[in-house]
Amino acid sequence: MRHIKLALALSLAAQVAQAGVTGSFPSIDGGILNLEDWRGQPVLVVNTASQCGYTGQYADLQTLYETYRDRGLVVLAVPSDDFNQELDTAQDVKEFCEVTFGLTLPMTDILSVRGPGAHEFYQDVAAETGFVPAWNFNKVLIGPDGAVVATWGSRTKPMSRAITGEIELLLN
């Protein structure tokens, strides 16, 4: 009986370890960005737009990435035109971000983050937490286990203590 309970506990632990949000994203550079490749690392996913009042947050996202990437943090920008504030093409977005903000963090192609056409990542986040981006520059922190740790709205700046404090708790 003890062996059966142990086997069930180990099976449940394995299922929990595999839980969490998953997904792959088309990269703005071509190819695929897969969340599973970053398993074991915290990932901050941010829906972005190039023509928004919060677009200046790109600079802080880059600073956040440079500050913590050597300790394992991934910052993923997800350009979206759901709020009609993104440039026309992914190439325009990439060029704008590189020239204006010196962005080197990973970026996806332009994707939908809300509604019936939302990318699977955002559908999973909504199903797990009820969180749906209300505007551009909403942030979702994924823990090393793939679970959503925290979410923030547009007004919370990337280098705020609220965000950096959560990230520091997750880093090796």
d(CA 85, CA 71): 33
Q: How many residues does the chain have?
A: 172
Active site residue 97: no
**How far, rounded to the nearest angstrom, does the alpha carbon of residue 39 sit from its chain's CA centroid?**
13
Cα distance between residue 26 and residue 32, in whole Å:
5
CA terminus-to-terminus distance, the chain: 38
Distance CA 139, CA 6 (A): 38
Catalytic residue among 44, 52, 76, 93: 52
Catalytic sites, residue numbers = 52
